[in-house]
Every structure is written in structure tokens, then in C-alpha cells.
Amino acid sequence: MGKRVKVDLPVEEMPKNWYNVLADLPFELDPPLDPATREPVKPEALLAIFPESLVEQEVTKERHIPIPEEVLKEYAVFRPTPLIRAVYMEEYLETPARIYYKYEGVSPTGSHKTNTALAQAYYNAREGVEELVTETGAGQWGSALSYSCAKFGLRSRVFMVRISYKQKPMRKQLMNLFGGVVEPSPSNKTNVGKDFLASNPEHPGSLGIAISEAIEYVVSSNKVKYSLGSVLNHVLLHQTIIGLEIEKQLEILGEKPTIIVGCHGGGSNFGGTVLPFVPRKLAGENIRFIAAEPEACPSLTKGEYRYDYGDTAGMTPLLKMYTLGKDFVPPPIHAGGLRYHGSAPIIARLVHEGIIEAQSFPQEETFEAAKLFARLEGIVPAPEASHAVAAVIREAEKAKEERREEVIVFNLSGHGLFDLSAYT
């Protein structure tokens, strides 16, 4: 059995910059389009819902973006996060692969989402915003944002997909603990919500509807801005702290990754994990990136690559991405954070170019993978992260069959301690 290794970087070793992959891509991304004119959206148009510094980060080509001191200070509450060798799983699988996982579940709200929530709350507060509004599926994003708003003195309001609101009362309580106001979506606070409720008073809701509600609320209020927990370039940018730390940790171990895996909902934890390694692939290094998604919501593997709205009511700009269509309402699978119809434009393009692979997993297989991981490694994975675990198991088994050494690294994006009802 390999030696169990856990690499904890000292806080002084935390990266001081985020990494912007747009500086290194050999192609231009297709720009977001204004739905009315089909012309590229002017950055100024985004200022109605986002603060200037984040709009700037959305389009910049600077390679290294300094992380503000105030954000570094808050990251230090839980960062750097550990990189751990999964020796118990390696032994069980009898694989020649060495498997490492980056554990983001140590964050205050249990997932990687705090990495961008803190940054977004900071920039909004600095520009005089008083309240942030957002949507949440399973509740991880809503709780990360509520926590971060409390840290930077902002109010927070969260439109929570109604089915999760009912199934995950503890997530709502966590948001309330941090001062967040939680509205089950569809709600009667917006015209969009009222329309859906009129057609079905028990509507289960969807992320697309909740986004529409949040945006409608924001554009009709003052000193209130919108905050998105995935998909957009600046969100992936903030998440690159994950991959940048992994780079340092692997260097300490003298390891070179050959396969990097993450689960994919809107692309933020996956992007944050793999994007810092993309230049290696572009330079011809032997390295694979695998995005793991649910068979029940297979945007990257079954979606079309085209322009589509980010929300259901069609209020957002059109984004070029893999999409199942804005009206897609996924079945109520437990991995609430992976129920989004679209994908991050950066990830979509990299899949389209063959730089990133996508694979889909049935719910059964991911739960079996999660149970195995919990019993062997002692951490209950979030249902979303279980898709990454399932992908790693498939690759480790392939390595065994083909007698290949591999260095597999995956992001364990969060713990599942608020999701135990899904396991029973």
C-alpha cells in the first residue's frame, strides 16, 4: 500500500493571484450576445446587474489577476485546502494509479463556492452595493454567498429552487444563520415567479427560473446587484485558486498529473481545478481533463453547442455553450448543483476543441462511488462531487486492466453532510 500523504500548504504559500486562461487560449471565445439585437453585449449593459470590477474581470486578457488583501485574509479562514492521497481507495481498487484529491469541503459552508462568493461580496461592497441577490439549487451557493455577504457587511437574498427548499431545510437554516433571506422559487416576489405559480401552484422550480427571478428583482431595485455562482468567466477565474494550489502541492510531492477530474454543473469547480493546467496540454504534455456530469442532466455530452439563454425567462445575454435548452427541467436528481441546462462558455469551447473530455454517469453508479469513498477515505462526498469519484474509479480500473501507471487528481468539491437524506 502506498503511503498516505496529506499536503497542507502553509498560509504564506497561498497563491496571491488568480489565473486567467483567456490570456493563453489560441482562439477567441464567442462573445455573449444581446438577445434583442444579436450583437455582442456591451460591457456597460452588464453594469445594471454586476459591479464594474467583475465586468472588467469577465473580459480581461491579463494572465494574472491579483487577489485583493481583504479576500486573501478571508481565504485564510479555510485555505490553502489539503491535497490528500487516496491510498485506501487505491488499495481497494488494486490499481497501479496514484490517486490524489483536493478537498474543498473544509470551507465554512462545505463547498468550493466560497472561493468566488468572498471575492464577489468584496468587490460589490467596495463599489457601494448594499444587497446581493442570487439563486441557489441545492443551497450550497446560497449559503456561500450569505456567509460572504455577512463577512463584507452586505445583505443577501436567495431565490431557492422550491423542491430543494422543501428537501433541504438545513441549507435554508444555514443561510438564515448568516443573515440571508431565502425565497422559495417560483415565488410571488416577481412577475416571472407569479406566472409559474399561476400555471402550477406546486411548481418544483428550476435553476433557470430562479435566475430569472433574481435578475428581475435586481433590475427593479436600487443599490442591489446580482451574483452568479458558476458559468461566467470571472467565477471560473476566482476558482483557479484550487488548481494553483494543486500545482504547488504536486510539486512538493514531485508528481506530474496525467488525468485531472472534476464534476461539472455550470463548470466552476471543474474550471478552477483544470484551467491552470491547460497551458501544459496546449504545449503538448500528456494530460487529460475529464468533466463528470449526471446522465440525467447531460449538457456537455448530449447538449447542443450553440447560443442559448442562461435562464428560463430569457432575460440573460445569450451565451455560446453546450445546452439542453433553456426550458429543460431536469428530473429531481439529488445532485442539485448539477441540474443546470447549460455550461460555462470557457469549458464548452475547450470541450468543443477536444482539449477537455466529458463523461456522464448514472445516479446509481455515483452513489455507489460515494459510499465506497466515504467508507474508505472517511469523507462523505457531496452528491455533485460523487460524479468525480465515479469517474476516478472508472479511470483507476482502466489503469489496472491496461497495467498503466497514472497520476489521477480530482477535486472533491464539497462534503455531503447536509445531503445525507439523499443517501438513505
Ligand X SMILES: *Cc1c(COP(=O)(O)O)cnc(C)c1O
Interaction site with ligand X (CB under 6 A): 111, 113, 140-141, 230, 263-270, 337-338, 382, 384-385, 413-414
Residue with cell 437524506: 421
Q: Which is nearer to ligand X, 186 or 337 (CB)?
A: 337
- Verify cis geometry, omega within 30 degrees of 0, for the bond prior to 184: no
Residue with cell 406546486: 202
DSSP annotation of 403 reads T
User: Which triple of cell numbers denotes residue 197?
Assistant: 405559480
Closest CA to 258 of 45, 87, 96, 50: 96
Q: Work out how close the CB of 94 gets to ligand X at its nearest, in angstroms, rounded to a whole number.
A: 28
Q: Which is nearer to ligand X, 75 or 399 (CB)?
A: 75
Q: Which is nearer to ligand X, 224 or 274 (CB)?
A: 274
Q: Which is nearer to ligand X, 98 or 276 (CB)?
A: 276
Q: Which is nearer to ligand X, 310 or 414 (CB)?
A: 414
Quick one: CA torsion of 304, 305, 306, 311, rounded to 10 degrees? Answer: 70
Cβ atoms 290, 261 nearer than 8 A: yes
Q: Work out how close the CB of 262 gets to ligand X at its nearest, in angstroms, rounded to a whole number.
A: 7
Q: Which is nearer to ligand X, 399 or 422 (CB)?
A: 422
Q: Which is nearer to ligand X, 95 or 146 (CB)?
A: 146
Using CA atoms, how far residue 390 sits from 54, 98, 360, 364, 412, in Å, is: 34, 16, 10, 10, 11
Give 17's strand partners: 66
Q: Work out how close the CB of 233 gets to ligand X at its nearest, in angstroms, rounded to a whole number.
A: 13
Q: Work out how close the CB of 252 gets to ligand X at its nearest, in angstroms, rounded to a whole number.
A: 25
Q: Work out how close the CB of 231 gets to ligand X at its nearest, in angstroms, rounded to a whole number.
A: 7
Please name the residues in contact with 190: beta carbons below 8 A apart, sequence gap of 6 or more. Answer: 212, 213, 216, 217
Closest residue to ligand X, based on beta-carbon distance: 414
Q: Work out how close the CB of 188 gets to ligand X at its nearest, in angstroms, rounded to a whole number.
A: 26
Q: What is the DSSP code string of 281-339?
A: HHTT-S-EEEEEEETTS-HHHHSEEEEEESSSSS-SPEEEEEES-TT------S-GGG-
User: Which triple of cell numbers denotes residue 383?
Assistant: 452528491
User: Which triple of cell numbers denotes residue 77?
Assistant: 479562514
Q: Which is nearer to ligand X, 218 or 300 (CB)?
A: 300
Q: Work out how close the CB of 343 gets to ligand X at its nearest, in angstroms, rounded to a whole number.
A: 8
Q: Which is nearer to ligand X, 213 or 419 (CB)?
A: 419
Q: Work out how close the CB of 285 gets to ligand X at its nearest, in angstroms, rounded to a whole number.
A: 24
Q: Work out how close the CB of 38 gets to ligand X at its nearest, in angstroms, rounded to a whole number.
A: 27
DSSP annotation of 179 reads T
Distance in angstroms (rounded) separating the CA atoms of residues 190 and 212: 9
Q: Work out how close the CB of 141 gets to ligand X at its nearest, in angstroms, rounded to a whole number.
A: 6
Distance in angstroms (rounded) separating the CA atoms of residues 400 and 419: 32
- DSSP E strands in 82-168: the ranges are 83-85, 98-103, 131-136, 155-161
Q: Which is nearer to ligand X, 406 or 419 (CB)?
A: 419
Give 290's strand partners: 261, 357
Query: What is the bridge-based pairing of β-strands 357-361 and 288-294?
Result: parallel
Closest CA to 159 of 229, 222, 263, 110: 229
